[in-house]
Structure 1
């Protein structure tokens, strides 16, 4: 029997297979569109997983979390909130029990305060794509940069006020047309993401920040958070798979939150 965690995000689906100690034996990532197209089966207006095609047995322990966890209907699936899944995953991967968790996802941003392994406060921006991974992707595309390239710049930033994933394009293009170096614009974009979440970070006294999700790989945003808050930034071994790992940890009762 395998322990399988699936984080059904808005942009990507992350799947992990773990042993009974929570160690990751296998991991997979799919674009959300490809995943539902290739592995989703609509049966009487209910979306179900083609588990055989995924290489999953009906006898396996299957846990789901994320934006689309309610889109999958399967008898043995356990559904867990994104907040709990990420906290479980962060504790399992780092061993920390007092921290601020940041997850900048494809369409939303979460800041969670954890004390003695317990969730004590949650801030979540899920009303638009502002300061999300999608916003960063859009801005990188406008600057004709890769995500790796845009994640290197944080020094001497130009001020960017509009963090809307759609309307931010006009402001960024305006900076380009003013002749401002793209490196400064990229730095301003990264700072604009931080500025949206700064109040939620600085209101808490924990000295450690655990940064998860794909944006945790953004060196600039990590550096900005450390520089502006003085807090220690911890990125788990598998930041993008943290939610999937946490859902398995919940099932196995590896951590109590």
Structure 2
């Protein structure tokens, strides 16, 4: 039996197929593209087109989902897994660590989980405002008219941005542009403002090791800022796929295979 984990995110759908102990298929697909091209709606149920995803039907596949759409967009013949558990199991599989603080910065929320001896002992979830999520960074890159890949590289001499709301933050950034600050200072300010919103949440989750996952794990500036707070920053090879991998891994462990 193979185990297919699908993380139904607000911006992207992440897919990981595990056969034995190995991830043999992995994909990141835009949310709209996934539902349009890789699913069909039959008799009130959403069916996944396995063959279109490159997943053969010659082996039984157990499907488990997590993420933003796991309940309100339930896939046919699937089981739902809590996001926190999915991301922790993904980190356990990818890092082989047992003691760490997990920081997952997704498209619309931030999850912080303390893991001791492989067990969840504390957690906090910030899903009330986009200002502490990846969407904030994307929006600000658009305001600055630069690519997201360029923005995440700037961390030195950040301009001070204090707005606690994503919408007001855009207005504040435009004001700083008008004041004549350089692009590098503005971009660094965007990254540092995200870090400032996350830092208070991490205060009660001190640990030697921080495991950083989610799309924002690839943000070089955030990595630099977090190095001040933790002895070790660990970024798994597939940070954005972590939730989907956790689904597959959890499902395999539970099956005993």
- SS at structure 1 position matched to 2:149: helix
Instruction: Output one character per residue of 1:149-182: Cα deviation in whole Å (capped at 9) or x when no partner.
Output: 1111111111111243333211111000000111
Q: Give the TM-score normalised by the residue count of structure 2.
A: 0.92
Equivalent-residue separation in structure 1 for 2:37 and 2:157 (angstroms): 45
CA 138–163 in structure 1, closer or farther in 2 if over 3 Å, else same: farther
Give the corresponding residue for 1:224: 225
Q: CA offset at residue 54 of structure 1?
A: 3.1
- SS at structure 2 position matched to 1:42: strand
Q: CA offset at residue 55 of structure 1?
A: 4.2
Give the corresponding residue for 2:75: 73
Give the count of matched residue pairs: 251
Q: CA offset at residue 209 of structure 1?
A: 0.4
Give 1:164-243 correspondences, 5 Å limit. 164-227=165-228, 229-243=229-243
Give the corresponding residue for 1:7: 7
8 Å CA contact retained: 1:135, 1:164: no
199-208 vs 36-45, which deviates more?
A: 36-45
Structure 1 residue runs of 5 or longer lacking an equivalent are none
Q: CA offset at residue 10 of structure 1?
A: 0.7
Instruction: Output one character per residue of 1:172-224: Cα deviation in whole Å (capped at 9) or x when no partner.
Output: 11000000111111111111111111122122231110000111000100110
- SS at structure 2 position matched to 1:191: helix
Equivalent-residue separation in structure 1 for 2:223 and 2:14 (angstroms): 22
Equivalent-residue separation in structure 1 for 2:128 and 2:157 (angstroms): 30
CA 110–194 in structure 1, closer or farther in 2 if over 3 Å, else same: same
Q: CA offset at residue 44 of structure 1?
A: 4.3
- SS at structure 2 position matched to 1:27: strand
Equivalent-residue separation in structure 2 for 1:112 and 1:230 (angstroms): 15
8 Å CA contact retained: 1:40, 1:49: yes
- SS at structure 1 position matched to 2:167: coil
8 Å CA contact retained: 1:216, 1:239: yes
Equivalent-residue separation in structure 2 for 1:68 and 1:230 (angstroms): 33
Give 1:126-165 correspondences, 5 Å limit. 126-165=127-166
Asked whether 1:17 is paired with 2:48, we answer: no
Aligned Cα root-mean-square deviation (Å)? 1.7
Asked whether 1:250 is paired with 2:228, we answer: no
Give the corresponding residue for 2:37: 38
Q: Give the TM-score normalised by the residue count of structure 1.
A: 0.92
